[in-house]
Structure formats: C-alpha cells, structure tokens
Chains A and B, each alone.
Chain A
Amino acid sequence: MPEQNQYQVKTLKIDGKEVAAAEHQTILEVARENGIDIPTLCHFDGLPSVGACRMCVVEVKGNNKLLPACITQAQEGMEVTAHSAELAEYRKLIVELLLTERNHICAVCVSAGHCELQAMAQKLGVNHVTLPYLHIKCTIDGSHKRFVSDGNRCILCGRCVRVCSEVEGAHTWDVTGRGINSRMITDLGEGWGHSETCTSCGKCVSVCPVGALVEKGRSVSEMTKPNFLPYLLQMREEAQ
C-alpha cells in the first residue's frame, strides 16, 4: 500500500546520531538534513544521483560493502558510519586517483579557486599525491562558439549528461568508452559546435564541478559558475 508507505517514518543512526527519514530518502539526504556533512563530487541538488564518484561512501552495519550514500535509501534500523579514519583515507584516495588520472594543474586552470575538486582536495587535506601521474591525453573541443570542452580536466561525474538530459531535455552529452577510456561526447562524437541537439543553454557549463566545461576566452581563475539550477527547478515546480 504505497499511500501509507509514503508517510512512513524510518529511524536510523548516522555516526551514532538518532535520525528520522521519510520514505525514499537517501542516506545522504537524511545526513544533510541533520547537519552531518558527507562529501560529494558527482551529486548535484536537483539532478538525479548516479553514485559515480564514490566520494560519499559510508559503512552500514551488517553490510560488508561500502555503500554510496547518494543512492542508498535509508532503511529502518540502519546503523550508518559516515565518518571514520578508514573512510577518510578512502575519500582522500579517490581524490588522489582523480588528480593523477588526467591533467589537473590548478595553477594554470581557468577554474582555479572555483573548482569543486580543488576545494575537496583542500578540505580533505590532499596536499600531495603519492601515485604516479597518468596524464591521459584527451581532446579539447573548441568547436562551439561560446564554450570549450577540455577532457583533460574532466572527472567523469556525469552532471553534464544528467542536466542536459533531465532538465534541458536535449541529451547532447553522453559517455563513450569504458573504464579508463571513458570520454564525454556530444551527440555521436561529431564535435560540440556541430551538434544538432545542443541548444547552447549553458546548463552543462554551469553544473560542471571542474574546468572541463567552460566559457571561451576565460583566463586562469576566471571561470566562475553561478548556480542557477536550483532556482530554475523551483520556478518550474511552482509553475506546475
């Protein structure tokens, strides 16, 4: 009987704190409602979560796997550990893996100072890397009139795919390849400027957490991204 479940309140513990969750709420949502900060990179308020970055992994008692808080629904009686020394190390390792895979040289990046990856590294205390740099060479697509896509700075969070598909409805962006060969593409890979579906709305640029999707002509540190999406979604909801 779904009508009843909709109002069913679940009780659980996160980091020892007793919290209450509504039906369909994720661990991340419940944690944030209760002032417990779980770090995220691919999650974006207003977009469906996909659990791509694994920054939000938590421990759940009785489960021997780490679970991503952004896509794991809160359950009655759950005992969640969101912060432990081990989890902190895992999260630092994730950031380190991201920093070493492609080219994240903050000093010359247009998004330096306004970058979520950079901020996360600072927040978690990742002040050096121990793994060898891979420096995978990716394409820089400058074919669009207003925007540039620099795959070298992409962390494959998929926010651009989700916002383009779910909010704009264009689905210009997608991922091609697998694993370490994954790359963002527009349409069937013919170049952003030649895309027939792109409406040039700029939502993908707005939600990109790093310097991968940026406005053309921006110099180092100049790429600031106003977060208009929550406002846009709120307006739509009110209109409905």
Chain B
Amino acid sequence: MQTIRIETITRVEGHGKITIRLDDKGVVEDAHLHVLQFRGFEKFCIGRPFYEMPSLTARICGICPVSHLLAGAKACDAIMGLRIPETAEMLRRVVHLAQVAQSHALSFFHLSSPDFLMGWDADPAERNVLGMAAEHPDQVVSGIRLRKWGQHVIELLGGKRIHTPWIVNGGVSAPLTVAVRDEILASIPEALAIATRTLEFFKHSMEHLAEEVDTFASFPTMYMTIGRKDGNLCLYGSRRRHEGWLRFADADGNIVADNIHPRDYADYVGESVDPASYMKAPYYKPLGFPMGMYRVGPAARLNMARQCGTPLADAALNEFRARYGEILQSSFHNHYARLIEIVFCIERMQQILEQQGILDTDIRAEAKANEPRGVGIIEAPRGTLIHEYKVDSNGMITGANLIVATAHNTLAMNRGLRQVADKYISGREVREGLLNRMEGLIRCFDPCLSCATHADGTMDLEVEVVDSVGQQIESVTR
C-alpha cells in the first residue's frame, strides 16, 4: 500500500493536506482531506458577554470576517429576542453583499484562475497570481480592482476593511451618510463592468474545461441553503420578514425540508467527528451519516434558487441553466456560480442603496439577554454559516457551536477527491500537474480552512509516496 500526501494545499485559505492511499497495484483506495489547525473558538469564548461574540468570532477569518460578524450579530439579536430596525438590516445586507463580492473575487481571480489560464500542468513557479500578472495582466488587474472595490465598500460603511466594529448586536453602530452612499453608488458601474466582462470571458473558457466539469465532484448530493419567501437567491435572510430559514433539496432540486427555523437547525444537521481532521463533517440528520451528504455554496445556492432577483444576474443564470441544466451537479460550477453571484451582489447593492429609508438614523435596537439560546444563520460566500450561542441569566456565554460553510462540504470534498484521484492518479508515478488537479478540486469549494490565507501559491508543496510500512518511495517537492 502507498500513501501520497499533498501537504500543504496551496491557494486555499488556511492549512490542510490531502492524502491518497493506493493499494499494491497502484489503484486508489481512498482520498482524504485533513484540516491541520485547531482553533478553539468554541471553548475560549465561554464566559464572555454574549454581545462580544460577533467581534470575537470575526477573528476566525480575515477573508470573510463580515460573515462571522453577521451570523454572530444575528445570534445576538435572537438572544435579545428582538427585531432590528429596518435600516440596520438594509445596511447589514449592503456590507454582506460587498463582502461576498470581494471574497468571490479573491477565490476566482487570485486562487483558482491560474489553473484555468496557465494550465493545470504549468510550472508551479509561474502558476500563481504573479505568473498571471506577467501573462494575463488584464485578469489580474480586474481581480484586484474588484476585490479592492468590495473591501473599500466595507471600509466606507464600517470604518475598517477587516474586522469592522460596525456590525453589532441589535443592528449597526453608525448610520449611513449621504456622502458614503453616493460614493458607493458612483463606484458601482465600474465594478459591474468588471464582473460582467469576466463572466463573458469565463463563459468561453468553459468550453475547454468540459473534463473538469465531468470530474470535479460531479455526483448527485443534497443541497442546503437559507431561503426567501419568493424562492429567490438569499444571502442574508431577514429576521424582520421571517426569512433566512433553512431548506434542503434532494439531488434533483426538489425541496425535501423547508422553513426550518434557525433555532431548530440541530434537528436536521448532525455533526460527525473525523479522527483524522480538525474539521467536523456535518450531514443531513434524517438520512444519517454518511448518506446525508449535502453541499452548500454558490452552486448549491443557485441550484435551490428560483432566480437571483436582479436583471443581469438572472440573465446570466438563465443562460447558465440553458447550457448546463437546472441542477449544477459538478462542484466545478462553483466558479461560474461565483461570477453570477458577484453580478448579483453589485446589482442588489445598488437596489438597496437607492431605497427609501437607507439613510435613517434608527439603526440599533437594545435589550438585555432575554433568551437562553440564539442561533444566527447567513449564507457566507462559501455557503451556510451557523452560529449558535447559549447564555446564562446574566448574558454570559455558556456554550457555542459554530458550523462554518467549509465544514458542510467536507463529505463532498472527500468524495470529490476520490473521483479526481480515480481519474488522474495511478501507479507509482506522481506527476505534479496531476496532484494540482486534486488541489484544484478543493479550490472549487473555496474552502476557508482557517483564517490564514496563502494566496500567492508560493508555499511548499510536498508530496510523498510511502509504502505500507511508511518507507518513502518517492518525494516530489515544489
């Protein structure tokens, strides 16, 4: 028996490794993703006042802290047992849209596009954002500009690009000014132009990526997201309108469980512990483990949405569906779905900012802890994010459970790895480009393995082939 280890996975957020076990004939027996970091947030938050949780848990991630801030703030709202003012909800939605757009831009341009544009087998020294800058400067500039735009909107609203203190329990801490609203609105046309141009470009690139569509986690699974009453794409989930409740669909897109109140999430989401990884593997409880595998994220969201709800994004989604079907079974479609969602985010942001009431100064509700438990759920860029807090009568945290988007996809990522390994890995020869496809599969999910990011692709990649007693047969180092 041989084991191939890809350690550390490059161009993903955080630290992880892949192991591929081969039998004596060189046939793949198993492929597995391991998350190597232990964070401990659920433990060291115990004893803190509940309203500190958004800012504490925001530190989980530097790419999508807004997601944790929002999920945390929603859980706090639930503990306080209140509905936040409408303007506060609108502003939270705007900052969330900015964050999804910038995070998707990072994933698509910085982390994944080197594989599409430079080729899976290109020299690793070139196959990164710096190599891209030399060969495809327009794409790199587009990516940087789009990400910068999203980050700048977050900064304009919240005072800081990362870990903004603006998103708080009960709403937001400061109202929107006319100047900031106008500056954001003025910046929208350029962002939208970049997004639509990139979508057009990738649409044509997809013609050369048919093999990846067929191989990269292309199998039927269930899907999970939060929903709106009109069935359209839902990222924030308004508590005021009783939206943002969980729904599950089967592999054909039929809704099998709907209107699951956030507080009841644990009746449907079970968590399995993987002894080889610090990441848990959630599953759909009614079907059990591991039958209850489901996927979350951009493609899953689009699979379950009636429409996006904005003109350009809807047109793109319809074209996408006409070409690939109503259900996007391959996780490779996450890349395309991300681009559609970026367009949606920019369009929706404009709609919200042009609404009446966006400048109102009633932006925060205050209350003590009135409920012993609160659950906040949003759609983070990578998928459904769940924050659950329990408090004592003084509002001090007695328990916390956080299920991040990446964890929901654990089972699908492992099965996808097996699918890619079956196709590309066999025998004792280990070719770097083939292993890069294994990493590429993981990048489809844009996993956030921790808050750290290693976006430049320059980390060491060490692949070892060892025999059944651990003797190294071959080693490939990037």
A and B co-occur in one complex? yes
A219 and B48 form a contact (CB under 8 A): no
Closest A residue to B55 by CB, please name it: A220
Q: Nearest Cβ distance between residue A106 and chain B, in whole angstroms?
A: 12
Question: Is the CB of A15 closer than 8 A to any CB of chain B?
Answer: no
Tell whether A142 pairs with B52 under 8 Å between CB atoms, given A108-B59, A217-B366, A221-B165: no
Question: Is the CB of B9 closer than 8 A to any CB of chain A?
Answer: no
A107 to B56 CA separation, bound complex (whole angstroms): 9
CB interface residues, B 35-71, toward A, < 8 Å: 47-49, 51-52, 54-56, 59
Question: Is the CB of A99 closer than 8 A to any CB of chain B?
Answer: no
Question: Is the CB of B177 closer than 8 A to any CB of chain A?
Answer: no
Closest B residue to A221 by CB, please name it: B165
A108 to B165 CA separation, bound complex (whole angstroms): 9
Q: Nearest Cβ distance between residue A214 and chain B, in whole angstroms?
A: 9
Interface bits B165-176 vs A (CB < 8 Å: 1, else 0): 100111001000
B392: chain A residues within 8 A (beta carbon):
142
A218: chain B residues within 8 A (beta carbon):
51
CB interface residues, A 121-151, toward B, < 8 Å: 140, 142-143, 145, 148
Question: Is the CB of A110 closer than 8 A to any CB of chain B?
Answer: yes
Q: Nearest Cβ distance between residue A222 and chain B, in whole angstroms?
A: 7
Question: Is the CB of B14 closer than 8 A to any CB of chain A?
Answer: no
B59: chain A residues within 8 A (beta carbon):
107-108
Q: Nearest Cβ distance between residue B404 and chain A, in whole angstroms?
A: 19
Question: Is the CB of B472 closer than 8 A to any CB of chain A?
Answer: no
Counting chain A residues whose Cβ lies within 8 A of the other chain, the interface size class is: 10 to 19
Question: Is the CB of B368 closer than 8 A to any CB of chain A?
Answer: yes
A221: chain B residues within 8 A (beta carbon):
165
A222 and B47 form a contact (CB under 8 A): no
A140 and B49 form a contact (CB under 8 A): yes
Tell whether A107 pairs with B52 under 8 Å between CB atoms, given A140-B47, A142-B394, A222-B168: no
Question: Is the CB of B163 closer than 8 A to any CB of chain A?
Answer: yes
Set A110, A142, A220, A222: member contacting B395, Cβ < 8 A: A142
Interface bits B254-279 vs A (CB < 8 Å: 1, else 0): 00000000000000000000000000
Set A143, A145, A217: member contacting B169, Cβ < 8 A: A217
Q: Nearest Cβ distance between residue A55 and chain B, in whole angstroms?
A: 28
B368: chain A residues within 8 A (beta carbon):
145, 216-217
A222 and B173 form a contact (CB under 8 A): yes
CB interface residues, B 115-168, toward A, < 8 Å: 163, 165, 168
A2 to B453 CA separation, bound complex (whole angstroms): 71
A67 to B395 CA separation, bound complex (whole angstroms): 44
Question: Is the CB of B293 closer than 8 A to any CB of chain A?
Answer: no
A140 and B165 form a contact (CB under 8 A): no
A107: chain B residues within 8 A (beta carbon):
59, 163
CB interface residues, B 164-210, toward A, < 8 Å: 165, 168-170, 173
Q: Nearest Cβ distance between residue B9 and chain A, in whole angstroms?
A: 28
B395: chain A residues within 8 A (beta carbon):
142, 216
CB interface residues, A 183-240, toward B, < 8 Å: 193, 216-222
A108 and B55 form a contact (CB under 8 A): yes
B55: chain A residues within 8 A (beta carbon):
108, 219-220
Q: Nearest Cβ distance between residue A186 and chain B, in whole angstroms?
A: 14
Closest B residue to A148 by CB, please name it: B49
B169: chain A residues within 8 A (beta carbon):
217, 219
Question: Is the CB of B6 closer than 8 A to any CB of chain A?
Answer: no
Closest A residue to B54 by CB, please name it: A219
Q: How many residues of B contact A (CB 8 A)?
A: 21
Q: Nearest Cβ distance between residue A215 and chain B, in whole angstroms?
A: 11
B54: chain A residues within 8 A (beta carbon):
219
Set A145, A193, A219: member contacting B173, Cβ < 8 A: A219
Q: Nearest Cβ distance between residue A54 and chain B, in whole angstroms?
A: 30
CB interface residues, B 1-60, toward A, < 8 Å: 47-49, 51-52, 54-56, 59
B366 and A108 form a contact (CB under 8 A): no
Q: Nearest Cβ distance between residue A132 and chain B, in whole angstroms?
A: 18
A218 to B59 CA separation, bound complex (whole angstroms): 18
Closest A residue to B73 by CB, please name it: A219
Q: Nearest Cβ distance between residue A145 and chain B, in whole angstroms?
A: 8
A217: chain B residues within 8 A (beta carbon):
51, 169-170, 366, 368
CB interface residues, B 51-102, toward A, < 8 Å: 51-52, 54-56, 59
Closest B residue to A217 by CB, please name it: B51
Question: Is the CB of B396 closer than 8 A to any CB of chain A?
Answer: yes
Set A143, A145, A193, A220: member contacting B52, Cβ < 8 A: A220
B52 and A219 form a contact (CB under 8 A): yes
Q: Nearest Cβ distance between residue B370 and chain A, in whole angstroms?
A: 12
Q: Nearest Cβ distance between residue A200 and chain B, in whole angstroms?
A: 15
Tell whether A216 pairs with B49 under 8 Å between CB atoms, given A142-B395, A142-B396: yes
B163: chain A residues within 8 A (beta carbon):
107
B49: chain A residues within 8 A (beta carbon):
140, 142, 148, 216
B51: chain A residues within 8 A (beta carbon):
216-219
Closest B residue to A113 by CB, please name it: B165
A145 to B396 CA separation, bound complex (whole angstroms): 13
B394 and A222 form a contact (CB under 8 A): no
B396: chain A residues within 8 A (beta carbon):
140, 142
A84 to B396 CA separation, bound complex (whole angstroms): 46
User: Which of A108, A143, A218 has the most C-beta atoms of chain B within 10 angstroms of its own C-beta?
Assistant: A108
Q: Nearest Cβ distance between residue A77 and chain B, in whole angstroms?
A: 52
User: Which of A145, A193, A222 has the most C-beta atoms of chain B within 10 angstroms of its own C-beta?
Assistant: A222
B394: chain A residues within 8 A (beta carbon):
142-143, 193
Closest B residue to A220 by CB, please name it: B55
B165 and A222 form a contact (CB under 8 A): yes
Q: Nearest Cβ distance between residue B219 and chain A, in whole angstroms?
A: 41
A-B pairs, top 4 by smallest CB distance, nearest first, are A142-B394, A220-B55, A219-B168, A220-B165
**11 A-B contacts, Cβ less than 8 Å apart?**
A107-B59, A108-B56, A108-B59, A140-B396, A142-B395, A143-B394, A193-B394, A216-B51, A217-B366, A219-B55, A220-B52
A219-B55, A219-B173 given. 6 additional CB < 8 A pairs? Answer: A108-B56, A110-B52, A142-B392, A219-B54, A220-B52, A220-B165
